[in-house]
Structure 1
Amino acid sequence: MKAIDFFCGGGGMTCGLRQAGINVVAGVDFDPDAKATYEYNNQGSVFVRADINTLERDYFEKNLNVQPNDDELILVGCSPCQYYSIIRSSKEKSKASKDLLLQFQEFIEYYNPGYVLVENVPGIITNKDTILPQFLKFLEDHGYGAPNSRTCKYAVINMKNYGIPQSRRRFSLIATRLDREVHLPEHVANEKTVRQAIGDRRIYRRIEAGHRDDNLVRCHSAIQMSAINLERIQHTSHDGGCRLEWKDDLRLQLNCYKGKDKSFCDVYGRVAWDKPSPTITTKFLSYSNGRFGHPEDDRGLSVREGATLQSFPWEYEFKTNRLEVAAKLIGNAVPPEYARRLGQVILGVNNA
């Protein structure tokens, strides 16, 4: 089996498919920050820095000997999803990403692969402007089956059900034009917790906010905190505490949250040890951008802790000196463990 990973970012999907035993021929992304990390960790998989809107459809045929109508070819499309996200963001700014799935569709039409994989935010189903119905109709018209038929399955899934120590709801689709039944990966019996993932203090040792790890592989580095945010986290109880604990302290309380005790309660909160973590976003280094405070230390999560909660292997190295860039590559990634399980489904291997 071979795959092309569109919108590959730093390589989460590529990593997992390779772990399953699938040859990822290439990853495609327009982000220059992704190239070094992708290539270093996925040697043998070519990084193609390109805008999918202008990339020639026959590029992979001409340059990488990828042939159309190959039953063993998988095309993967995990397009940027800001437009459909429930996270507050400028829809005007993210509008360019709205129709990327339709650009990916053109490569499906040209190569007619045996399999198609898509991962996105749940909002791609519910958003009133979604192009998902158009994409599903395309798949049906091109022999991949009607939605949720024997050969085309999709659902909104939660990564915590697949051995990943994180609550992360995503849209996931697998389709084939071959005469076989496909399905999404099977659930695991028990959820993996934050403690199981990053609780070993011999590895994820105590550090302070602003600590920079000189070991680039380990990258147990945390960003600096302002003096007032340091006070806030010091007044937030260990193991899952939240900002409501200091809401009546006029000095610590933020004006924007006054009278909003039932809204945005995860912001300025600590992660709980014995649950899966909240969704690891591109802002997970920042205590003020979600429930990203460490369960015990007075700091936000480190780069390596976020990567581990996303199920990246320990040896996966983020080739940048900027912590915010590493966080972007981690937060935008498909968790490799889920990708591995998708690969096993295609290969007909029981999930482990």
Structure 2
Amino acid sequence: MTLGFTDSRFCGDFSCVFSLDFDHAAMLTHSANFGGTHVVMDIEQFLLSGSPLPAADVVIGGPPCQGFSLLNKDRSGDPRRALWEPFLEVVFRSGASVFVMENVAELLRSPEMAEINSRAEQNGFLLHAAVLNAADYGAPQVRKRTVSIGAKADLFPFGIPLPDPTHSGRWRTVREAIGDLPEPVGTGIRDEPPPLDLHFGRNPTAMSLERYRAVPPGGNRFDLQNNAPHLLPECWRKKTSGGTDLFGRLWWDRPSVTIRTEFFKPEKGRYLHPEDHRPITHREAA
């Protein structure tokens, strides 16, 4: 989200004054790209430490989504469901007039959403929240997320409405996004300028290559089962329904599915290249 607020092509021309995350590598990357003071620390520990927060006009963030995700079978008791509270505390302490919070689609219908709205109103904010699909705004990816925009009622009497879709009639496709890329080279970050520095592959095993070849364009694990049953993992053999994206190929003429962290593992989702016998690269995923 920081890119969207600092790049003039989007919201544009904001400056990052402070960033916080407990992931050291993430903070190094964020600092290198956006500058500003950065702190590597758990947000709750930071707030308890009494460390000062710089004044800010806008606070943006995405509290951990795992506590709400349908992929988390123990989500109802996940303590990460409550991490919206320290996020809002940062908003209030910074004196921000606006905040933007992003999370998985399931947040919108959760009990926590009502609590977030109530806490925001108690502190003078009007909240607009809805599930938005990134494909409706020009991203070549179907990615549905709850986006919440809170705005100080004394400055924005009607709040700040969510943006209207710009591409709902014509989604961008995988081919438009990555169809012009050359073949990936090597298995590590390349010594050349972005974006091709991240266009590298892996060294698949012979069995993995056989599995990739057994999946036709647009196919998935069921094609693997039909075309090469001897290569099918036993756990998939017992799962006779669902999981239609597992070991699937992306389609050239559609947006991609939601790209998650482990996109380089096709057993996790529809992450095989539309026609090459390999998972997508880091550059292609980006």
Query: TM class, shorter-chain normalised?
Result: 0.7 to 0.9
Equivalent residue, structure 2, for 1:292? 271
Equivalent residue, structure 2, for 1:38? 30
Alignment map for 1:318-333 (pairs within 5 Å) = none
CA pair 55-232 structure 1, distance change in 2 beyond 3 A: same
Alignment root-mean-square deviation, CA: 2.2
CA pair 212-75 structure 1, distance change in 2 beyond 3 A: closer
The answer as to whether partners of 1:220 and 1:302 remain within 8 angstroms in 2 is yes
The answer as to whether partners of 1:28 and 1:47 remain within 8 angstroms in 2 is yes
| Aligned counterpart in structure 2 of residue 211 of structure 1, from 156, 164, 187 | 187
State whether structure 2 residue 227 is matched by structure 1 residue 236: no
The answer as to whether partners of 1:14 and 1:27 remain within 8 angstroms in 2 is no
Structure 2-normalised TM-score?
Answer: 0.87
Structure 1-normalised TM-score?
Answer: 0.72
Give the residue type in structure 1 aligned to 2:106.
G
CA pair 126-223 structure 1, distance change in 2 beyond 3 A: farther
| Gapped regions of structure 2 (runs ≥ 5) | none
The answer as to whether partners of 1:207 and 1:297 remain within 8 angstroms in 2 is no
- Distance in 2, Cα, partners of 1:41 & 1:111: 22
The answer as to whether partners of 1:81 and 1:121 remain within 8 angstroms in 2 is yes
- Distance in 2, Cα, partners of 1:180 & 1:230: 59
Equivalent residue, structure 2, for 1:174? 149
Alignment map for 1:1-352 (pairs within 5 Å) = 13-19=1-7, 20-42=12-34, 44-56=35-47, 59-61=51-53, 64=54, 66=55, 73-88=57-72, 91=75, 95-127=78-110, 130-145=111-126, 152-177=127-152, 178-181=155-158, 182-189=160-167, 190-200=170-180, 204-207=181-184, 211-215=187-191, 217=194, 218=196, 219-238=198-217, 240-248=218-226, 249-258=228-237, 260-307=239-286
- Distance in 2, Cα, partners of 1:89 & 1:214: 38
- Distance in 1, Cα, partners of 2:25 & 2:114: 32
Say which SS state the counterpart of residue 16 (structure 2) adopts: strand
CA pair 199-60 structure 1, distance change in 2 beyond 3 A: farther
Alignment: residue pair count: 272
- Distance in 2, Cα, partners of 1:173 & 1:191: 23
Q: Which moved more, 1:216-225 or 1:169-178?
A: 216-225
How big is the shift at 1:241? 1.9
Say which SS state the counterpart of residue 28 (structure 1) adopts: strand
Give the residue type in structure 1 aligned to 2:273.
H
Give the residue type in structure 1 aligned to 2:5.
L
Give the residue type in structure 1 aligned to 2:183.
R
Say which SS state the counterpart of residue 85 (structure 2) adopts: helix
Q: What is the percent sequence identity of the aligned residues?
A: 29
The answer as to whether partners of 2:246 and 2:266 remain within 8 angstroms in 1 is yes
Say which SS state the counterpart of residue 251 (structure 1) adopts: helix
Please give the per-residue CA displacement for 1:162-206, whole angstroms capped at 9, x wherever unaligned.
Answer: 111100110001121123441112211321111111000xxx212
CA pair 134-228 structure 1, distance change in 2 beyond 3 A: same
Say which SS state the counterpart of residue 131 (structure 2) adopts: strand
Say which SS state the counterpart of residue 89 (structure 2) adopts: helix
Give the residue type in structure 2 aligned to 1:18.
T
How big is the shift at 1:246? 2.8
The answer as to whether partners of 2:174 and 2:251 remain within 8 angstroms in 1 is yes
The answer as to whether partners of 1:28 and 1:50 remain within 8 angstroms in 2 is yes
Which has the higher relative contact order, 1 or 2, with Cα contacts under 8 A spaced 6 or more apart?
Answer: 1
